[in-house]
Structure 1
Amino acid sequence: MIQRILQPGEIEALDRTAIPRVSLPERSTVFANRAARLRKLADHHPVSGYLRLMASLVDAQHQMLERFAGSMPARETMPMQEAQAHSMPILPALGRPRDAVWCGVLRELIDRVDAAGDVTPALGKLLDALRTMPEAELEAAADAVLDLRFEQIDAAAAPFIMAALQVVWTDAACRLDVRDVPYVELPGGCPVCGSLPVASIVRIGGAYHGYRYLQCGLCATEWHMVRVKCSHCDSTKGIAYHGIEGAGEALKAESCDTCGTYRKIGYQEKDYDIEPLADDLASLALDLLMSEAGYRRAAPNPLLWPLAADDE
């Protein structure tokens, strides 16, 4: 039997219910799987120490998420109804007041990382500064991170701030009903929180088999997007795929000549355990290759921030 390969335009024309549109994160596995993947990738890696540190941070996220329950708007509230009516993110990270509970989450994450050991004097000083930082300064730092105002971001502190925000928004995403998540008109924006994806993955198994999903860098929600299409500007022209020779076929960089950006894409059929955020973080050689080729990242990795705006 001969199967015809559908092109992007044909896929979009299919019944929208035929492909699972959104996959919400699983509370018990989202951070546990990420931490395990980071540790596996750290073996014999040039920046193994940093990957293991981030694995400890993600472990702390997993421990917190197991018992954390933040505030959650009811389905009948005006913001939820407006999101549905106007195709907007249902729990936007920007534009609405943020529950200050995330500051307490940050301090507990710091304590857990500290207790895990392997904290250098320089890192200890950074963690102490974050632990004692006034709430107003923390809120300003969170705004800068979420809004990608790179010139206002402390690259060393940002992964810890983002980790706390991830716990809060992932908790919320876990408690949503997927049927309540609206179709969002924003290209490349998460339908739950509006944040940018960190990477994409072509899944295998069940209803998701063979389909590409973008993974949100904040709430870990995944949403479907057709393949061979720029996840940043929606262009289908000038799309190319790049890899490191000898590094395998499980992770590539998908570049777009229309907007000059790239975002990594993983193939689960090549490596079942691939995890978008972790594999993106551990593939710095691919970032260097893309930079040398003249492309810029479409969005930073939440656990590794650039030192200046022109690095992106």
Structure 2
Amino acid sequence: MSGFHSLQPDPSMIGRMLKPPFAVMPDPVALFRQRAERFSVLAGGSHLAPYLDFLAGLSRLQADLAAELSPAEAIPTEQVQRARENRMPPLDRASLAGDAGLRALARRSLEDVAALSMPAPAAAALTELRQAKPEVLDRMIGDVLADSIPADALPQHLFLSAAVQVHGARLASLLDPKQLVPVETGLCPCCGGPPVSSMVVGHQGAEGARYAACAFCGTQWNEVRIKCLACGSTKGIGYMAPESGEEATVKAETCDSCRSWVKILYQNRNPVLEPVADDVASLGLDLLMRDTEYRRAGFDPFLLGY
């Protein structure tokens, strides 16, 4: 296939640990600071530099906001236990729509973001958001929470996604990872969201294990290698990368059963890879995949519209 080096299923290092930790919860401040640093590095020499620099600034603001806010209120113990018993995510995203605390956080985030340099259309979208009535803001936040973002309002929802990510990561950080259980293949056990990408990690205690990453709440959870994160199939799984991609650290994991694909990052080969930043920076892979029969199953609010 032109533009690609097609790879066979990758059975190497399927997991050296008998049972790696199932879930890793985010440290919100560290999460967004590391993401900002990675965006900044990736911007150097990239044709996406203006956008990556903007996202670096946005991520820094997310980190600052997470550091300055009063402690979040933990999800009630009874809700967590009930979710565990029913194999459901304890963080109910739908219930956050219309939440006054989230709306206030979003308002503050929008004020902070105004300091960033951005194109005129994005600045106009931001002004519109800052002037929006509460019910309008709640509706748009609801779209973000549902991963259902209108194509005619992408900039507005990108700004709100940044605020919602801070809120989600703060709530997730208060959960005991041992209380989380698998819900469905490819769904975050904390909030039920789809993965932005997955990573083969190399850190002690989980060498060679694969973790899917949630863009909404920052939770990472263990998934079996060579398995579709969209349908759960373990058959017809392949890997595609740009030509000469045998040593590529970002690949498209494809599934012949449901014809979907999700990016897989080999953090065990390059420890600085970050699930959201490197997803955006590897946009070229998305553009190449458009010419295939596979559809993207990973969800990244910072890549909508591309």
Same fold at TM > 0.5:
yes
State how far apart, in whole Å, the 1-side matches of 2:57 and 2:130 are.
17
One-letter amino acid matched to 1:222? Q
Change over 3 Å in CA distance of 1:304–1:106 after alignment to 2: farther
Q: Which residue of 1 aligns with 2:205?
A: 207
1:269 Cα deviation from its structure 2 partner:
2.4
What's the secondary structure of 1:276's corresponding residue? coil
- Whether the 8 Å contact between 2:75 and 2:171 is mirrored in structure 1 is no
1:73 corresponds to which letter in structure 2? I
Q: Does 1:223 align with 2:221?
A: yes
Equivalent position of 1:44 in the other structure: 45
Structure showing greater relative contact order (alpha-carbon pairs closer than 8 Å, 6 or more residues apart): 2
The residue that corresponds to 2:28 in the other structure is: 27
State the match for 2:4 in structure 1. none
Q: 1:39 to 1:80 in 2, by over 3 A?
A: same
CA distance in 1, matches of 2:132, 2:298: 27
**Structure 1 residue 144: Cα displacement:** 1.9
CA distance in 1, matches of 2:100, 2:151: 20
Give the partner amino acid of 1:30: L
* Aligned-partner Cα distance in 1 for 2:96–2:67: 26
Displacement of 1:71:
2.8
1:151 and 1:262, CA in 2 relative to 1: closer, same or farther beyond 3 A?
A: same
Alpha-carbon spacing, 1:98–1:24, altered in 2? closer, same or farther (3 Å): farther
Displacement, 1:306?
3.0
Alpha-carbon deviations, 1:20-54, whole Å to 9, x = none?
Answer: 10011123310011111111111111121111111
Alignment partners' CA distance in 2, 1:203 and 1:212: 6
Q: Distance in 1 between matches of 2:147 and 2:92?
A: 15
- Counterpart position of 1:310: none
Specify every segment of 5 or more residues in structure 1 that has no aligned partner in the other structure, as ranges.
Answer: 308-312
Counterpart of 2:54 in structure 1 is: 53
Q: Is the 8 A contact 1:202 1:268 kept in 2?
A: yes
Q: Name the SS of the counterpart of 1:208 in structure 2.
A: coil
What corresponds to 2:8 in structure 1? Answer: none
**Runs of 4+ deviating beyond 4 Å:** 5-8, 95-98, 150-153
What is aligned with 1:155? 154
Normalized against structure 1, the TM-score is what? Answer: 0.87
Does the aligned pair in 2 maintain the 1:250–1:268 contact within 8 Å?
yes
1:141 alignment counterpart:
140
Q: CA RMSD in A?
A: 2.2
Aligned to 1:234: 232
Q: Residues 63, 175 of structure 1: CA spacing in aligned structure 2 closer, same or farther, 3 A cutoff?
A: same
SS in 2 for 1:299: coil
Query: What are the superposed Cα offsets for residues 48-101 of structure 1, whole Å, 9 maximum, x if unpaired?
Result: 1111111111111100111323332331x3x22320110100112125665222
After superposition, residues 183-194 of structure 1 pair within 5 angstroms as: 183-194=181-192
The answer to whether the aligner puts 1:80 opposite 2:80 as a matched pair is yes
Q: Secondary structure at the match of 2:199?
A: strand
Number of positions where the alignment pairs a residue of Structure 1 with one of Structure 2: 293
SS in 1 for 2:265: strand
SS at match of 1:115: coil
Give the secondary structure class of the aligned counterpart of 1:29.
Answer: helix
Contact 2:236 2:257 in 1 (8 A): yes
Q: Output the CA distance in 2 between the equivalents of 1:203 and 1:141.
A: 35
Change over 3 Å in CA distance of 1:88–1:262 after alignment to 2: same
2:254 is equivalent to residue 252 of structure 1 = no
Amino acid at match of 1:185: V
Q: What residue is the counterpart of 2:105 in the other structure?
A: 105
Given residue 21 of structure 2, which amino acid in structure 1 is its aligned partner? P
Q: Aligned residues: percent identity?
A: 32
Shift of 1:112: 2.2
Mapped to 1, the partners of 2:68 and 2:285 lie a distance apart of: 37
Letter in 1 for 2:37: A
Q: Aligned partner of 1:103: which letter?
A: R
Change over 3 Å in CA distance of 1:191–1:26 after alignment to 2: same
Residue deviations 1:171-224 (CA, integer Å, cap 9, x gap): 01111111222x133221111111111000011121121100000110010000
Q: How many angstroms apart in 1 are the aligned matches of 2:95 and 2:76?
A: 18
SS at match of 1:242: strand
- SS of 1:66's partner is helix
Contact 1:28–1:66 under 8 Å retained in 2: yes
